[in-house]
Structure 1
Amino acid sequence: MSERTTRTTRTTLALTATAALGMGLTACGDSGGGEAGGDITLQFASSQSPDQPNYYCGMELFKERIEEQDLGITVDLFPSSQLGPDAERVSQIQSGDIDLDLQEAGMTTVYPKLGILGAAYVFDDVDHAFNWIDEHSEEFRQDFSDATDMTIIDGWYYGSRTFSSNEPIRTPDDLQGQLIRFPDTPQYLANAEAMGAQSVAVAYEEVYVALQQGIADGQENPVVGTATGSYDEVQDYVSLNNHQVSIHWVTLSNQTLEQLSDEQREAVFTTVHEIRDENRQCVEEETEEVLQEWRDSGQLTVIEEDEVDRQAFIDKAQDYFENHYTGEDLEFYQSIRDSAE
């Protein structure tokens, strides 16, 4: 059997399981459980720390709900990059050394097209993002699995990325002269350029010190990420421009997929999908709690959504990406934009 055929068979297993969830994907054939099944321990890794919603309202819920189904599945959780940073974990997922992973940017190292899903303002809002996953992502996920030996089960909402800074940011013009830390990946750096920001390269572990010492004037993160990183201690403003719907993808090794029985596979896919809405609610509630604390304490000045010229940001970003992407990447970007309701 050729490598391409083997990969397609694995993807068939994944899409068959996903179709059972009513997510709009077409069943591709027999699930081929065969000799798979039996007791199995799944290693579920992430860079998320235990104090972030995607851990306690995501990974922990998955462990609890899978294990209580008594299907022979045990889940071991490895948060806070215990098994390596995002990019390094990708090869471990591909080889089956890690079974499940929750991340975003690292997967672009083996499948750059995934970065387009993180383009500034490619999604109008969270509803648009989840509608795209449910109704329009089948071909994308099939191609991803064929190319990487990993299967995207679903996406969990991490938050909408915003700016924190020492000067107020209400329009793209306000970014002029400010050094903003963006993650050092091609798509994030393109986002900086698309919005007119001057990016500065700072390792994740060094962001706080860089802000404290003025190496960077600001950074971008979901509100919860800004709070858990304690960046609010060394910043004056947070701007709710919401330039990116940040989705962290729950990804399964295709090596592991083949080891699961039909019943185990369906349970894993169903549980991940059912957690999605609870996880989103948890993230949104935590985000509002943090914002209200800042409003009440005055620790940060919150520039509210209605104070931001979001349309100016959107227009600038779209103009940029329509020239930045070419060929199939441009078609993919435009298809996502066209899927907005």
Structure 2
Amino acid sequence: MTRARALPAALLAAICLVLTACGSPAGGEEPLVIRYGNIYPASTTFGKAVDRMAELVEERSDGAVRMDVFHSGALGSEQVHIEGVREGSLEMAHTGTAGIALFVPETALFEQWYAFDDLDQLARAFDDATPLLERMYADKGFTLLGTFYNGPRTLISTSPIRSLDDVQGKQLRVPGSDLYVRMANGLGARGVSMPLGDAFTGLQTGTIDALEGSPDDLRSGGYGSVAPYLTLDEHVYHPLSIVYGRDAWEALAPEQRELVQAAVDEVSAEQRAALEQANVDALTELEEDGVEIIEITDREAWADRVAPTSAGFAQRFGPDGQRIVEILDAAGRP
């Protein structure tokens, strides 16, 4: 009873509504239900990967384990998702710094702007950091099962951004993360933290001038219809940690843990392979829909603009954070 009262009210209500609508399976023993939260649309590489994960888990368990997936932030923000995993109203989610960094703040170091030039550098850094991250996550009540990858995050805007001068003063939507607000401000924009689900309306009403995300995310969200300029500054390649609540994970039978882990391993590899092509396809589709694709030739100058912000941010952390900084450097960080 104490645990139930502590759950985020909006998340608990949303889950109850959906599960009541779904009903119970007819006959036989009740399956183990794993609730999975995804803030991105089902059409993104993350949404497709999680849906595939759910298929594998149910097929390979002959229906004894079922995964209920909640796409497009149906249960709330990324912060609500990670709190739900920790408190037990969700079993699983994938999360970037706007979520997991609430409990493991050092993970935000992976999302410093212009830290990586490509996915290979990011993947190398995350692989090297995984033993450290597994211990840090466990200390805060999470089990790290793997990662999806996202990026490069770019800018989509209601007026063209062709240079650093055009960024100055822009109201730029960023995730609910102190790092992103600091980085946006360091670039010269004004970072506006708001849930992703509010960004479309924000662009329509002029509350924000721009938001950032990978081409695939931006296409899936339909933002090109209200923000017809996309600037390829490629400021972030980042991991999305796939986490399970530690207590819930330890309560699973060994064969159930093996089943889930195998599905995570398989679909995360597929998602990384699909991401690059998805972004290429998204850029083509956005351009066909009338979005102007703008390439910059001075990305190094953009990186230099936020370098003091990055250095100051990194100094906030203790030994674990400094170890992550070393891993980033070794992976090829500028």
How many residue pairs align between the two structures?
299
Unaligned runs of 5+ in 1: 1-37
- Could you tell me how far 1:55 is from its partner in structure 2? 0.9
Match of 2:58 among 45, 56, 67: 67
Q: Counterpart of 2:99 in 1: which secondary structure?
A: helix
Q: Does 1:325 align with 2:314?
A: yes
TM-score under structure 1 length normalisation: 0.79
Q: Once the 2 structures are TM-superposed, how far is the Cα of residue 225 of structure 1 from its aligned partner?
A: 2.1
1:108-123 equivalences in 2 (<5 Å) = 108-123=101-116
* Alignment partner, residue 19 of structure 1: none
Local SS of the residue matching 1:215: coil
- Kindly state the Cα deviation for residue 99 of structure 1 after the two structures are TM-superposed: 1.2
Q: Secondary structure at the match of 2:176?
A: coil
- Note the C-alpha offset of 1:217: 1.9
Q: Residues 182-261 of structure 1: matches in 2 within 5 Å?
A: 182-261=174-253
Partners of 1:337 and 1:80 lie apart in 2 by: 31
| 1:51-88 per-position Cα deviation (integer Å, ceiling 9, x unaligned) | 222112x1111111122222742222222333332212
| Residue pair 1:169, 1:239 contacting (<8 A) in 2 also | yes
- Match among 291, 305, 313 for residue 283 of structure 2: 291
Picking from 122, 125, 135, the partner of 2:128 is: 135
State the alpha-carbon separation in 2 of the partners of residues 217 and 81 from structure 1: 22
Change (3 A) 1:96 1:210: closer
Shift of 1:272: 0.9
Alignment partner of 1:268 is 2:260: yes
Could you tell me how far apart the structure 2 residues matched to 1:78 and 1:181 are?
A: 23
CA distance in 2 between partners of 1:83 and 1:206 (Å): 14
1:174 pairs with one of 163, 166, 169: 166
The offset of 1:258, in angstroms, is 1.2
Distance 2:236 2:31 in 1: 40
The CA deviation at 1:159 is 2.9
2:50–2:267: 8 Å Cα contact kept in structure 1? no
Q: Which moved more, 1:282-291 or 1:319-328?
A: 319-328
CA contact (8 A) 1:101 1:251 kept: yes
Consecutive unaligned residues of structure 2, counting only runs of 5 or more, are 1-29
Shift of 1:253: 0.9
Aligned twin of 1:21:
none
1:316 maps to which of 291, 305, 313: 305
- For residues 212-267 of structure 1, the C-alpha deviation after alignment (integer angstroms, 9 at most, x for no partner) is 23332211111122222222112231011111113222111111211223333233
Counterpart in the other structure of 1:20: none
Q: Does 1:337 align with 2:331?
A: no
How far 1:320 sits from its partner (Å)? 2.2
Distance in 2 (alpha carbons) for counterparts of 1:93 and 1:276: 19
| Whole-angstrom CA distance in 2 between matches of 1:135 and 1:202 | 32
- CA, structure 1 residues 152+308, in 2 after alignment: closer, same or farther (shift >3 Å)? farther
| Residue 289 of structure 2 corresponds to residue 302 of structure 1 | no
Shift of 1:168: 3.3
| SS, match of residue 61 in structure 1 | helix
CA shift, 1:327, in A, is 4.9
Cα distance in 2 for partners of 1:333, 1:194 equals 22
Residues 92, 98 of structure 1: 8 Å contact kept: yes
Contact 1:96 1:254 in 2 (8 A): no
**Aligned match of 1:26:** none
| Partner residue in 1 for 2:24 | none
**1:90 and 1:188 mapped to 2: Cα distance?**
18
1:6-85 equivalences in 2 (<5 Å): 40-56=32-48, 58-70=49-61, 72-85=64-77
In the other structure, the counterpart of 1:30 is none
Q: Please report how far the alpha carbon of residue 333 of structure 1 lies from its aligned counterpart in structure 2 after TM superposition.
A: 5.3
Distance 1:182 1:128 in 2: 23
Deviations 1:279-328 (A, max 9, x none): 1232322221121123345x111013xx3321112222233211233253
Confirm or deny that 1:152 pairs with 2:144: yes
Q: Distance in 2 between matches of 1:221 and 1:281?
A: 18
Whole-angstrom distance in 2 between the partners of 1:201 and 1:272:
30
User: Are the equivalent residues in 2 in contact too, given 1:95–1:255 (CA < 8 A)?
Assistant: no
SS at match of 2:149: strand
Q: In structure 2, do the counterparts of structure 1 residues 184 and 101 end up closer, same or farther at CA, with 3 Å as the change threshold?
A: closer
Q: CA 1:63 to 1:138, structure 2 compared with 1: closer, same or farther past 3 Å?
A: same
Relative to 1, partners in 2 of residues 1:268 and 1:149: Cα closer, same or farther, differing over 3 Å? same
